[in-house]
Amino acid sequence: MAESIDSSFILVGAEQSQVLPPPSRPPTVTSDGTFPSSISTPTSPIDSNVSSVGTLEPVHHPSVDPTYVAGSTSSYAHDWSRDTTGGIRTHGRHFIDAYGRVCNLRGVNLSGNCKTPVNDDHATFPAGAETVTFVGRPFPLDKAPQHLARLRRWGLTFVRFLITWEAVEHEGPGIYDVSYLSYLRSVLSLLPQYGLTAFVALHQDVWSRYAGGSGAPAWTLEHVGFDLHALEESGAAWLRGVCGGGYTKAERGLWPCGYQKLAASTMATCFWAGDVFAPKLRVRDGASIQRFLQDAFLDMWEAVARAVGDLDGVLGFEMMNEPHRGYVDLPSLHGFDYNTDLHLGDVPSAFQSFLLGTGHPTNVDHWTRSFPMPTRRTGKTLLNPQGRKAWREDGPTGGQDLWEMHGVWEWDDTKNIGKVLRESYFVNDPTTGRKIDWYTDFYYPFLKRWTERVRNAVSNGHGHEKLFFAEPIPNEFCPTSWTPEHQPPNMVFAPHWYDLRVLFDKAHGEFSVNVQAISRGVNPLKTFYWGHKGARDNFSTQIRSLVEAGYSSLGERPVIIGECGLPMDMNGRVAFKSDDWTWQRRMMDAMITALERASVGFTLWNYNPENDDTRGDDWNGENFSWFSNSRSAHAHDTKELDFGGRILDAVVRPYPTKTAGVPLSFEYEMATGAFAYSWAVPPLSSSSFPGATATATATTEGTGTTVQGEQQQQQRLTKGPSVRTPPLRGHPQLLARETEIFVPSQLTRGRRLIVNGLKAGDAYVYDEARQTLFILPVATATQTQTQTQTQTAEEQQSGQAVSVVHTVRVRFDPPLEGELPNDFWGDFAGPIGAVSVVLLALVAYYVLLERI
């Protein structure tokens, strides 16, 4: 057997990079099981007319040649380097390569440990904020080959690469860590050599580590006037989670509540809307706080873009992880929105936070976990009994609360109570009275500024080719106001998805609930699901709703689920002792199945090189990494690369990567390893039928090639865009016939891969060394042209276009012997039937008695 490409490490340093030559290719198999008479030498798929920097000029894939033999190129399915794709761009809802093939990007967040510095010290935090270093996050440079080779082996070659504002500019405004930027460039430069591509995402949670999360440097809070050493005691922030806590039952999952606390909410409000709501707050040079923070943020981003924007391995950028509006749009100072803001533990209202920050002990509501709603109010807690102030006397507010300084509230010394003066202060412009909308007035304009700044900062003049990823506020659907004039060029919609019940409870079992639907007013009885099949359907409903809301608001824009994952320490950490990861495996499978049904790419949260069973991800008690360093060995070959993976059979799975057509449906069964895939080859000419928008649907029933038109066209227009009926009209001309599917070698060792559904003349080849299944339909373009030309006059007049739909089924012999997914009727049909028979018998018995 040919040596796997995943055992070929690349040396880092002054020496030349060394890569093993392309592996030998197994023979092609035609649909009738015969072998071709000759096999061509593997060639590079890229023609010479593609520039080295990324000009996406039209190119032809070698597979357009009628004599081409399947799998003859030297590429592999999950290789996103420019050498094999010609560069990735967007078209409609899809990512496409230079040949017009649809690219299905999936991978990981790299990494959760990028939230904290290498020299993080829980015992002395928040001291030493100016001297932290993130050089070595996510891993030391000499460890990069092992980790990148592992991700390549697992088919997870699309990376959301995390950085933080603190990592770049921790020492002070305008002072950038050039060592970190140099390290960043070195790591990202390696990605194409492993087939990886990345978008660089600026991460933040709850504004900053110094407010209980991650992101902004400490000096941003100090410039607003906060005392870093008084934030927790005054109730302005919850910091135990960034100081090694968050693992106990009482502290579990508390950190997101920090968004509503004084420090994070004030910082977000000043950043987005300081000119409107905090105009009196000025920094030393007289600039407004909004201008100061935003200019510093943009300057920092420009430094990042200049450092890494020209790299082939950097596909694009994301401005900010999980942005939050702070107090903007808050209708009442006496409460937050239960549907979007987590209520758990001690949750002060905005007004109560103002009181606490000025040193007034205050009783606040205490919330505990519940069912079916995530939490409920169960009592009161007295916070800040010592009367500690969050504001520095030598700060820009002179020790006064910022919002008291702006007349939002005041303290009545006579009655010894606080009093709200402007209840709707954050709803309307305080000067004009105009209704404020956070998205339209603040987020969209700044997103545009950021995009322009980053595009212009990318060296070599190719900033226009970069993709720009953006997301809404967490737990919110895409706003309907996100219309084209508010969308940056090359925009990718990148929302996050987690199952909220599992996230809050850190538990998963047979019973699951669609909390997303409940929060939007759906009858709870319609949101309950049972079993593994039920979890798949539950998650599919949630993710489909999220994705289709994006299409409805944005139009045909690509969607990537930027974060999705599950806590590995769920169900009381039982798996760490028993090594039985059944529930984690079942939930991961249900989640990825849902993503596959929605036909979207994703980056899993998260691959953490430093995760271990004791500390987890070492941030706010989280343990989401399905790779554990404590369970891995120093990898030298392909097999050892799998060491440390916890639930690989659920994570590492087949998926279509480069499709010569438009994907329609994909379904994988983890228990057996079998999968089915359907895709459509769009009409050859996009101008044959003016006004038509071709669509196609496919099911896994039947095999072979079918022809379908736009019978669902009117239905799609009336019901809105659907993940099940992607538009076909207007797709770029396909310059390739070959479709590539990632099939992990873990499935094929000792088994025979069998492909059904091909018609006469179609061919396929599976190369285990490259973990790639190549599918080569015969003369697809000619077929499409023939079908188009043979339409009836009635079809042409009605504007219907036809497409060739391919469906293949892949199975293994012998099949995997996993546990098939269960559902309610499978588990309870027997008992329910037995009880029903008994009840019917009793009814019949009493009826007979009555007649006697």
Give me the active site residues, please.
322, 563
Going by their DSSP bridges, the two strands 772-776 and 106-110 should be labelled as: unpaired
Q: How many CB atoms within 10 Å of residue 371?
A: 13
Strands (E), 710-852: 739-742, 752-756, 763-767, 772-776, 803-813
DSSP assignment of 642-664? TTTBSSHHHHS--EEEEESSEEE
Instruction: Report the distance separating Cα 607 and Cα 145, nearest Å.
Output: 15
Write out the two tokens for 455: 């595009």
Are β-strands 675-681 and 662-668 bridged in parallel, bridged antiparallel, or unpaired?
antiparallel
User: Which residues neighbour 5 within 8 Å (Cβ) at sequence distance 6 or greater?
Assistant: 20, 22, 23, 76, 152, 769, 770
Torsion, Cα of 630, 636, 638, 643 (10° steps): -10
3-class state of residue 246 by DSSP:
coil
The answer to whether 743 and 766 are in contact (CB under 8 A) is yes
Closest alpha carbon to 617 in 238, 165, 106, 110: 110
Q: What is the DSSP letter of 439?
A: I
DSSP 315: E
Q: Given its phi and psi angles, is residue 708 left (phi above 0), alpha (psi -120 to 50 degrees) or beta? A: beta
Position 88, amino acid = I
The 10 Å Cβ neighbour count of residue 246 is: 23
Spatial separation of the C-alpha atoms in residues 154 and 195, rounded to whole Å: 12
DSSP one-letter string for 30-93: ETTS---S--PPPB-S--TTS-SS--------GGGSTT--TT-BS--TT--SHHHHS--EEETT
Q: What is the distance of C-alpha 709 from the center of its chain?
A: 33
Q: What is the rounded (10 degree) CA torsion for 94, 99, 105, 107?
A: -160
* CA distance linking residue 223 with residue 420, whole number of Å: 26
And the tokens for 58?
Answer: 């039209």
Residue 96 CB neighbours (<10 A):
25
Residue 136: Cβ within 10 Å count: 16
Q: Which of 596, 740, 765 is nearest to 656 (CA)?
A: 740
Reported as type and span, the H/E element at residue 165 is: helix 165-169
The Cα–Cα gap between 320 and 443 comes to 11
Q: How far apart are the first and last CA of the chain?
A: 80
Decide the pairing of beta strands 197-202 and 94-96. unpaired
Q: Is 818 helix (H, G, I), strand (E, B) or coil?
A: coil
Q: What's the CA gap between 668 and 597, in Å, rounded?
A: 10
Closest Cα partner for 354 from 447, 275, 261, 277? 261
CA nearest to 728, candidates 681, 677, 786:
681
Token pair of 825, please? 């009727």
CA 253 to CA 305: how far, in whole Å?
34
Q: Decide: 257 and 238 in contact? Cβ < 8 Å.
A: yes
CB within 8 A of 327, min separation 6: which ones?
265, 266, 268, 269, 277, 350, 426
In the block, which residue shows the tokens 């016939």? 737
